[in-house]
A = this chain, B = another copy of it.
Amino acid sequence: MVNTEYDIVASFTREITRVNLAFKQHIQLKLRQNNIDLTFEMLSVLSCLWEQDGINQQEIANITVKDKASMTYLLDNLTKRELVYRQEDDTDRRNKKVYLTSKGKELRVQIQPWVTEMFGMVGNNLPADSVKSLTQTLEKIRENLR
């Protein structure tokens, strides 16, 4: 069987997609099992705010690797669920800062352990630091693509 560079990279792109999907499905299963009406994407915005409450929409978009149009939509959905609210920035009225409601803060207690658990599973049976070096290699690859 021939194993050309083309095939190697093709498998690589597929495997990236699969790992991405695995994270998503793992979390969505937890959410479904606990009857929590949230998607993976909404959760990634919430996680972001659990770390830094009150940042603006563009900052959330950068951190969560989404574009600002999606952010408008996602925040509308989170607002409907009364988990966040927007507030215009007085010092720069282009910005809208996003804050967690008390309901949004409370969810952290229930959900973050699942994320922590999932993240903990990642490094099993792998050499120490291998996730870190993996990430660095991925960064280089992304550089190569520009």
Contact = CB atoms under 8 A, between A and B. Distances in A.
Nearest to A64: B14
Contacts of A122: 9, 12, 141, 144-145
Number of this chain's copies in the complex: 2
Interface string A56-87: 00000001110000000000000000000000
Contact of A131 (B12, B18, B116): B12
Contact of A5 (B8, B119, B125): B119
Given A122-B144, A123-B9, A126-B141, A19 B22 contact: no
A10 interface: yes
Interface string A105-146: 000000000001011111111100011101101111110111
B15 A20 contact: no
Contacts of A118: 145
Interface of A: 5-6, 8-23, 26, 63-65, 116, 118-126, 130-132, 134-135, 137-142, 144-146
3 shortest interchain CB distances as A-B pairs? A9-B119, A22-B145, A15-B138
